[in-house]
């Protein structure tokens, strides 16, 4: 059965050792990787979210129909309410505060829950640029650790990443395999754009 490998906004990337074998929307990329795996059954393929460098675990031995269902499940957004018009669900959890904090929250319009949500939203907006830079650095770190931990100057490249020295990172990775070096370069863009 031929499956429709349509695209969406998320990008995944797959490597067999240092060689990039597929990149694109999850369904498209998984289908490309499966074709590659069928002609290279001994390949050791690693999958990553191309932006965050989180590894994705997929068994390419399953049939294509099952593979597409697995990919769709793994790629499902955590909160799909925006496109369906449903209200976002609330997750009740315990919050521990001092009595004076609870007293202050109780005096706020809407009560404790509304006041806490507003405070969290304000903090998220205020820390946005710092959080974006940290997340971008972590994406570079995760990918370099998974794919280049044994490469020459790996540790120096990591130090340069957290010092914000892009020229030094580029110098350190100059001898790394081409596809790994290219993807690190792609990840460095957001890491330094957010600084």
Q: Given pLDDT bands bounded at 50, 70 and 90, which one contains residue 145? A: very high
Whether pTM exceeds 0.95: no
**Into how many domains does the chain fold?**
2
Inside any domain, residue 148 = yes
Q: What is the pLDDT of residue 42?
A: 93
Does the structure show a pLDDT above 80 at 138?
yes
Mean pLDDT over residues 157-184, rounded?
A: 96
Instruction: Return the pLDDT at 91.
Output: 67
Q: Would residue 106 count as lying in a domain? A: no
Higher pLDDT, 48 or 74: 48
Integer Cα distance of 127 and 166 in angstroms: 23
Which of 20, 19, 41, 23 minimizes the C-alpha distance to 31? 23
Sheet holding 12-16, edge to edge: 19-24, 12-16, 45-49, 55-56
In this structure, of 35-39, 74-78, 98-102, 183-187, the range with the lowest mean pLDDT score is 74-78
Please state, in angstroms and as integers, the Cα–Cα distance from residue 125 to each residue in 13, 95, 121, 159, 181, following that order. Answer: 30, 21, 6, 28, 33
Q: What is the dihedral of CA 139, 144, 146, 152, to 10 degrees?
A: -170
* Dihedrals phi, psi of 21, to nearest 5 degrees: -110, -20
* Dihedral sign, Cα of residue 105, residue 106, residue 109, residue 113: positive
Task: Evaluate whether residue 107 is within a structural domain.
Answer: no
Can you tell me the distance from the alpha carbon of 36 to that of 43, in angstroms, rounded to the nearest whole number?
9
In a domain, 136, yes or no: yes
- Work out the angle at residue 68's Cα, subtended by the Cα atoms of residues 16 and 20, and round it to the nearest 5 degrees: 20
Q: Please identify, among 56, 74, 92, the residue that sits at the C-terminal boundary of a domain.
A: 74
Residue 23 lies in a domain: yes
Residue 98 lies in a domain: no
Residue 75 burial class via C-beta count within 10 angstroms: exposed 0-12, middle 13-18, buried 19 and up: middle
In a domain, 25, yes or no: yes
Considering the domain boundaries, does residue 35 fall inside one?
yes
Q: In percent, how much of the chain has pLDDT > 70?
A: 87
Picking from 30, 45, 74, the residue at the C-terminal end of a domain is: 74
Domain residue limits at 21 = 12-74
The two three-digit tokens of residue 162, written as one number: 């957290």
Tell which of 48, 74, 100 closes a domain.
Answer: 74
């Amino acid at each position: 059965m031929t499956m429709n490998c349509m695209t969406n906004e998320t990008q995944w990337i797959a490597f067999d050792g240092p060689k990039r074998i597929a990149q694109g929307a999850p369904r498209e990329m998984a289908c490309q990787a499966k074709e590659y795996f069928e002609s290279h059954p001994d390949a050791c393929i690693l999958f990553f979210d191309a932006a965050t460098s989180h590894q994705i675990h997929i068994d390419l031995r399953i049939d294509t129909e099952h593979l597409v269902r697995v990919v769709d499940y793994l790629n499902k957004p955590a909160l799909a309410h925006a496109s369906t018009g449903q209200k976002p669900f609330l997750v009740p959890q315990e919050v521990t505060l001092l009595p004076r904090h609870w007293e202050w929250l109780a005096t706020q319009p809407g009560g404790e829950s509304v006041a806490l949500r507003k405070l969290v939203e304000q903090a998220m907006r205020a820390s946005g640029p710092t959080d974006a830079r940290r997340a971008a650095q972590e994406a570079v770190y995760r990918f370099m650790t998974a794919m280049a931990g044994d490469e020459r100057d790996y540790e120096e490249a990591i130090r340069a990443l957290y010092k914000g020295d892009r020229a030094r990172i580029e110098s350190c990775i100059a001898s790394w395999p081409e596809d790994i070096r290219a993807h690190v370069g792609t990840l460095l863009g957001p890491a330094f754009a957010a600084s």
